[in-house]
Amino acid sequence: MSVLITDECIICDACALECPVAAILDDSNEKNLNDSKYYVKPETCVECVGHADLPRCAEACPTEGAIVWDMPYTTDYEEYYIAGQEEGKYNIRVHKKKGMMLPSVKSKPFRDDISIEDREAHMNVGQF
Ligand code: SF4
Ligand code: SF4
């Protein structure tokens, strides 16, 4: 990861089918803890690396600020994702044998041309 869907989301359904790895859950999906916005699974999102030049979800999204950068889903940010899980910000999948699919279990590709500062500031993906 990843990208993050914010409260700016207007639930328009333009993004989910664009995702090449089915990382986006709509507001009615039981695994989505939010009923007022879509949700990106950080343990699944690959930032469209190997699929497209730009994140497809953000290209399809009509709402500025609805899809923003989040931290890479790598072991450097293991504690960040654990804290987010505890806060209810994420709902990371729990595998029967492997346990929670944290970055230490399976890290994901990310775009290294996006700075950590821009990720920390949750900059709008569409502006890059
Ligand atoms: S950045 Fe790509 S892989 Fe990640 S949620 Fe958006 S469309 Fe899916
Ligand atoms: S395209 Fe944007 S506004 Fe529409 S559901 Fe996805 S994140 Fe929300």
Q: What is the pTM of this model?
A: 0.95
Q: What is the pLDDT of residue 1?
A: 54
Residue 60's alpha-carbon distances to 16, 26, 42, in angstroms, are 9, 15, 19
Which atom of ligand 2 is the closest one to the Cα of 63? 3
Mean pLDDT by 10 residues, the chain (128 residues): 92 97 96 92 97 96 97 98 96 96 97 96 90
Cβ of 10 closer than 6 Å to ligand 2, yes or no, is yes
Distance CA 51, CA 32 (A): 24
In DSSP terms, which residues pair with 39 in a beta bridge? 25
Residue with tokens 């995702």: 19
pLDDT attached to residue 127? 79
pLDDT value at residue 45: 98
Q: Which domain holds residue 72?
A: 1-128
Q: In this structure, which residue's CA is closest to atom 1 in ligand 1? A: 47
Q: Tokens 């993004």 label which residue?
A: 15
3 lines ligand 2 (CB under 6 A): no
Q: In the chain, how many domains are there?
A: 1
Q: What atom of ligand 2 comes closest to residue 14's alpha carbon?
A: 1
Name which of 17, 96, 99, 98 is nearest 57 in CA terms.
17
CATH number of the domain residue 128 falls in: 3.30.70.20
